[in-house]
């Protein structure tokens, strides 16, 4: 990590450590004095060494010298200046080998996601105090693992499932600290029934005319049935954000539509911050692909990789074949 001599002299390490045993420090940038103080108090109380970098404008003027193992940026509202600051910080963090956590609003998610394409950040949507703290801890644990060895696919899958446990812990902490704005599935609109276009003919083909992806109307019907469960059962009992997003992207490809990160978070039917963690891991695993909008650099889309597309084609072919066999056996 790159620090100037002046910075090293001004900020000494405290006792907080990452998973490899090395001291850890977190640099905080925010235009909101109250939130900045709140983040500093929470992280200091957890044993992290905090560096208050100041307002987001500090990321635009002069060298960015205040970096820690983790940089946390609070930007609920996004404008041109904010995007310029994030873009510059994104490059600086990536080149320094630091780790970036950005908190924003659901309205600002699209722009923030598009601006951060180099540092592989964690993006938190309207997080609670507990979620911010957990995000720093998770990042530091990954730093320790990366220093010991490269992450395997098994490690990535373990992190995905651990995310659920982390969210449960954060929710319990929220109950202890009182109500706080949290980007839940209800807030983003996830869990509301999707009105799928009815199949006019029950014998309609399950696959498009090229024998590729399944008919998107069929996929939308499957999505609608999955969403209907939340009206009768607790949604968390059947939470499967990766599969819900895969289905949504499969339908969108058949409809020749682009899927924004906000739309995909809603399709996941989990809190937006949780969905973003899954999206990041699925991109890292090569299942999803991040694609910039060539006509608008402020936007980025998520798409199926060729590997995932082929897997979904194979899955639906096999599932359709079994369904046809069952139908013949029943009518025979």
Query: End-to-end CA distance of the chain, in Å?
Result: 70
Q: Which of 11, 124, 40 is nearest to 75 (CA)?
A: 124
19-33, 79-93, 302-316 — which is least confidently predicted?
19-33
- Please report the pLDDT score of residue 298 as a whole number: 77
Mean pLDDT calculated for residue range 28-53? 91
CA distance 75 to 330: 58
Q: Please give the angle made by the CA atoms of 20, 25 and 29, to the nearest 5 degrees.
A: 140
Q: Report, as an integer, the average pLDDT of 234-255.
A: 89
More confident: 13 or 56: 56
Share of the chain above pLDDT 90, in %: 41
Domain ranges of the chain: 5-177, 188-331
Q: What is the dihedral of CA 178, 179, 181, 183, to 10 degrees?
A: 100
Q: Is 278 strand, coil or helix?
A: helix
Helix, coil or strand: residue 58 = helix
Q: How far is 302 from 261, CA to CA, in rounded Å?
A: 6
pLDDT value, residue 172: 56
Over residues 145-173, the pLDDT tens digits come to: 444 345 555 555 555 555 555 555 555 55
Q: May I ask the CATH class of domain 188-331?
A: mainly alpha
How would you classify the pairing of strands 259-260 and 70-74?
unpaired
Structure tokens at 210: 């090229």
Does the domain at 5-177 match CATH 3.30.200.20? Answer given as: no
């Amino acid at each position: 990590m790159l620090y100037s001599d002046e910075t090293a002299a001004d900020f000494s390490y405290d006792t907080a450590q990452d998973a490899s045993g090395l001291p850890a420090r977190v640099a905080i940038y925010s235009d909101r004095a109250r939130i900045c103080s709140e983040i500093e108090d929470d992280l200091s109380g957890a044993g992290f060494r905090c560096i208050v970098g100041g307002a987001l404008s500090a990321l635009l003027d002069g060298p960015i010298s205040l970096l820690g193992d983790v940089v946390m940026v609070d930007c609920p509202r996004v404008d041109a200046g904010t995007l310029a600051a994030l873009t510059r910080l994104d490059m600086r963090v990536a080149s320094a080998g630091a780790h970036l956590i950005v908190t924003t609003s659901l309205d600002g998610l699209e722009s923030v996601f598009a601006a951060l394409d180099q540092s592989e950040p964690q993006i938190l949507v309207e997080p609670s105090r507990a979620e911010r703290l957990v995000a720093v801890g998770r990042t530091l644990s990954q730093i320790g693992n990366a220093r010991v060895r490269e992450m395997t696919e098994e490690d990535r899958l373990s992190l995905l499932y651990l995310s659920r446990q982390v969210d449960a812990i954060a929710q319990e902490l929220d109950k202890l600290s009182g109500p706080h704005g949290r980007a839940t599935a209800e807030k983003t609109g996830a869990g509301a029934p999707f009105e799928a276009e009815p199949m006019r003919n029950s014998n309609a083909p399950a696959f498009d005319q090229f024998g590729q992806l399944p008919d998107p109307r069929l996929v939308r019907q499957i999505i609608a049935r999955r969403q209907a469960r939340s009206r009768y059962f607790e949604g968390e009992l059947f939470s499967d954000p990766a599969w819900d997003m895969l289905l949504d992207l499969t339908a969108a490809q058949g409809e020749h539509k682009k899927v924004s990160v906000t739309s995909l978070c809603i399709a996941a039917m989990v809190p937006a911050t949780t969905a973003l963690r899954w999206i990041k891991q699925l991109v890292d695993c090569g299942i999803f692909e991040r694609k910039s909008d060539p006509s608008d650099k402020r936007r980025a889309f998520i798409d199926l990789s060729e590997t995932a597309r082929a897997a979904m084609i194979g899955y639906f072919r096999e599932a359709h074949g079994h369904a046809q066999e069952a139908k013949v056996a029943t009518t025979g």
